Structure 1
Amino acid sequence: MTNISIFGKGNMAQALQARYEEAGHTVTLIGHEADAVLGSIVILAVPYSAVEDILEKYADSLENKILVDMTNPLNFATFDDLAVPSDSSAAAEIAERVPKAKVVKAFNTNFAASLATKKVADTADTTVLLAGDDTAAKAEFTDALTGSGLTVLDVGSLKRARELESFGFLQLALAVQEKIPFTGGFALYK
């Protein structure tokens, strides 16, 4: 059993809580509480704009933790661009800020509904795309989802986070424009 901490209490955080609890783990949702004790896997289920404050407050507590960045760093002023440099990613910036954490990128290409139902558009199984540089952290992340009803696919190093963030941005843009429903999204068939 793994102790998992999720920053955020919204739809994504609640869907992940259900999946991890189904897999037999203990999950704590963290809002604006002071001095939360963090589990071995910490998930950022918050808007990208909230990450800075979390990292500042919990930097020391994140040492040797698996830190899951699931943000999509959208420029919400234009909704036409990412808010990170084109040669970087939110995950890379987070890894730079907390170098002693084991940063992985995951869940940002999934909608809350597909995590909750374990299906994309009630059709395809939900696949979580994972990127990171720490092989052991990726294996532990994947193992923690065993029994959750979700499939994990390792897409490579943390450099792939940029593509995952672009993919997440495209999916969100389509949903906001009502070209796809938030119960849908992209699915992976193997």
Structure 2
Amino acid sequence: MNISFIGAGNVASNLGNLFTNAGHSVQFGTHNPKDNQLSVAEVISFGEVICFAIPFSAMDAVLTENRENLKGKIVVDIANAIHLSDWSPVFLGEDSGGEQTARLLPESKVVKAFNTIFADAMKAEKQFNGQKLTAFIASDDQEAALVVKNLSDEAGFNGFVVGGIKNARHLEAMAHLNIAVALSGGGTDAGFIYVQNKN
């Protein structure tokens, strides 16, 4: 697949490398492209799946500006609502960034995913005690959710679809917990592993 990233930070570059290693074509887009980067408009045109790995505070403007070009695309919202100065949470009440993205892009296939995984844990063949991290996925579009699940599995995670986009608020709360543990000394080479007993 052609996979685009809006943003070129650690999450975008590390996750992008995993997708590239899995055989996908990956491009990065920024507002001020350099080296091999594309413009935001160019990278949206390139991708079948568009991953947003930019600060939450920038999401509204970027999504609104590119709403038309994102129609029909699978849009993966990776952002977490945090204050960049200290990583503390921005509380959204009975709402989530994923739901906000879905409201802004009613004609796109919005998926919340990868926001519970630190960039440091997005490394090839990374395992924790022999187990893969869980990539939690929330979307109202079942087909798009399955596409992202497959991408997650190919990237070396265990993709797990948790239901509709409303569950993005739970995934974002998990990310806040992950960050709190990291800031208390746990570090960022960490993540969640969900285990089900299906017997």
With normalisation by structure 1, the TM-score equals: 0.89
Equivalent residues of 1:130, 1:153 under 8 A apart: yes
Counterpart selection for 1:59 from 58, 67, 73: 67
Q: Which amino acid aligns with 1:46?
A: I
Counterpart selection for 1:72 from 77, 80, 92: 80
Does the C-alpha gap of structure 1 residues 97 and 131 become closer, same or farther in structure 2, counting only changes over 3 Å? Answer: same
Equivalent residues of 2:77, 2:113 under 8 A apart: yes
Look up the match of 2:192.
186
Number of residues paired by the alignment?
Answer: 187
Percent identity reads 31
In 2: Cα distance, 1:82 partner to 1:154 partner: 25
160-169 vs 28-37, which moves further = 28-37
Q: Which amino acid aligns with 1:58?
A: N
In 2: Cα distance, 1:88 partner to 1:142 partner: 23
Look up the match of 1:23.
22
- After TM superposition, the structure 1 = structure 2 runs for residues 22-171 of structure 1, keeping only pairs within 5 Å, are 22-32=21-31, 33=33, 34=39, 35-38=41-44, 39-76=47-84, 80-84=88-92, 86-119=93-126, 121=128, 123-171=130-178
How far residue 113 of structure 1 moved from its aligned partner, in angstroms, is 1.7
What residue ranges of structure 1 are gaps of 5+ in the alignment? none
How far residue 188 of structure 1 moved from its aligned partner, in angstroms, is 2.5
Q: CA RMSD in A?
A: 2.0
How far residue 124 of structure 1 moved from its aligned partner, in angstroms, is 2.9
Equivalent residues of 2:124, 2:155 under 8 A apart: no
SS at match of 1:27: strand
Does the C-alpha gap of structure 1 residues 18 and 76 become closer, same or farther in structure 2, counting only changes over 3 Å? Answer: closer
Does the C-alpha gap of structure 1 residues 15 and 76 become closer, same or farther in structure 2, counting only changes over 3 Å? Answer: closer
How far residue 78 of structure 1 moved from its aligned partner, in angstroms, is 7.5
Equivalent residues of 1:120, 1:186 under 8 A apart: no
Equivalent residues of 1:120, 1:187 under 8 A apart: no
Q: Identify which of structures 1 and 2 has the higher relative contact order when contacts are C-alpha pairs closer than 8 Å and 6+ apart.
A: 1
Q: Which amino acid aligns with 1:45?
A: A
Equivalent residues of 1:105, 1:131 under 8 A apart: yes
